[in-house]
């Protein structure tokens, strides 16, 4: 599992900032575990697994608050 910070939260999706990576990781509301999308705030620390999205790019899966 990786950890990062919710950088941007938009309509049903957002991006997670990693300390050791230049690119942010996309996440979708459907990939949240144990939290509702509306409860997330920018700056929250989350853990997640990295998988591949439908477009072949990295995507955060099983996103959980730390």
Which CATH fold topology does 2-65 show? OB fold (Dihydrolipoamide Acetyltransferase, E2P) (2.40.50)
Quote the pLDDT of residue 21. Answer: 79
- Distance in angstroms between the alpha carbons of the first and the last residue of the chain: 11
* Per-residue model confidence as pLDDT tens for the chain (66 residues): 999 999 999 999 999 999 887 889 999 999 999 999 999 999 999 999 999 988 888 999 999 999
**For residue 24, which of 37, 13, 15 has the smallest C-alpha distance?**
15
Angle at 43 between CA 48 and CA 61, to 5 degrees: 15
């Amino acid at each position: 599992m990786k950890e990062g910070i919710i950088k941007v939260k938009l309509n049903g999706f957002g991006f997670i900032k990693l300390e050791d990576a230049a690119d942010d990781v996309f996440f979708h509301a459907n990939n949240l575990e144990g939290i509702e999308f509306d409860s997330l705030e920018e700056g929250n620390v989350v853990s997640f697994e990295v998988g591949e999205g439908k477009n072949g790019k990295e995507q955060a899966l099983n996103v959980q608050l730390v």
